[in-house]
Amino acid sequence: MDNAALRDRIAETRLVAIIRGTDVDQTVQAALTLIGAGVTTLEITLTLAEAEQAIAQVVQDAPAGALIGAGTVLSESDVDRSMTAGAQFIVTPTLTASVAYAVRSGIGVLPGVFTPTEVQQGMDSGVAAVKLFPAASLGPGFLRAVRDPFPDARIIPVGGVGLEAIPSYLAAGAFGVGIGGPLVGDAAQPGGDLKALAVRAAAFVAATAAGVR
């Protein structure tokens, strides 16, 4: 999926789940549980050992319409192995060399940014959107202020964004929200509670949908 298509997809769903698991099988089950609960855009981070195996399995088992990405993609080789595994987009924590390489390779990318300068640099590189990370240390007020000089910037707050904060971020002009721990919880760990994950996922989907009406 290229950056234009990824941009359009996030504009529709407004919610990206972040799975930072420690077990391949549990990560796969968490991803499929999220998709079944309506969270159809998600990333599996490369911090998981054998993350490529998890990505490939989810891509194979997910229903049509699900969008599976790779997260914590730090290098050009990370981009290559993510694409080989079947990842349809990539996410980075910073403006690393992997960003420009991914753009050149035709795969959608959400790079991490923290300052107004990085927001501009990220958007100028032609990416689908930028990931404001860690957003909790800045808050919705920062996002609103940044969008004053950059009204067309597509910014996705990530990092400590809880269920109750979603309306504030969307009202401040967030293009979408990226949710990790507050959504996934222990579900991608051995013995994680998938039933509780499904309940949380439904609540996050509802909150995101309500915030963009």
Q: Is the pLDDT of residue 43 over 60?
A: yes
pLDDT given at position 71: 98
pLDDT given at position 212: 62
Question: From the candidates 12, 50, 76, 131, which is the catalytic residue?
Answer: 131
Q: What is d(CA 204, CA 166) in angstroms, rounded to the nearest whole number? A: 8
Distances (CA, A) of 196 to 15, 177, 178, 185: 18, 21, 19, 9
Q: What is d(CA 170, CA 177) in angstroms, rounded to the nearest whole number? A: 8
pLDDT in tens, 153-186: 999 999 999 999 999 999 999 999 999 999 999 9
The SS3 of residue 132 is strand
Q: What is d(CA 85, CA 11) in angstroms, rounded to the nearest whole number? A: 25
Q: How many helices (H) and strands (E) does the chain have?
A: 10, 9
Contact predicate 143/173, CB 8 Å: yes
Q: Is the pLDDT of residue 91 over 80?
A: yes
Is 131 an annotated catalytic residue? Answer: yes
Question: From the candidates 12, 43, 52, 195, which is the catalytic residue?
Answer: 43
pLDDT given at position 211: 67
At a CB cut-off of 8 Å and minimum separation 6, what does 204 contact? 15, 39, 163, 166, 179, 183
Angle formed by the axes of helices 24-36 and 51-61, nearest 10°: 30
How much of the chain exceeds pLDDT 90, in percent?
98
Nearest C-alpha neighbor of 198 from the set 211, 212, 185: 185
pLDDT (mean) for 128-156: 96
Q: Which residue has the tokens 């998981």?
A: 48
41, two tokens: 């855009």
- Is the bond leading into 134 cis (omega within 30 degrees of zero)? yes
More confident call, 211 vs 200: 200
Is 76 an annotated catalytic residue? Answer: no
Could you tell me how many residues make up the chain?
213
pLDDT (mean) for 125-129: 96
- If pLDDT is split at 50, 70 and 90, which confidence band does 128 have? very high
Q: What is d(CA 145, CA 70) in angstroms, rounded to the nearest whole number? A: 30
What is the residue-wise DSSP string for 187-200? TTSTT--HHHHHHH
pLDDT given at position 167: 95
The SS3 of residue 80 is helix
37, two tokens: 């609960």
Distances (CA, A) of 32 to 59, 166, 178: 10, 23, 17
Is this prediction's pTM over 0.85?
yes
pLDDT given at position 177: 98
- If pLDDT is split at 50, 70 and 90, which confidence band does 210 have? confident
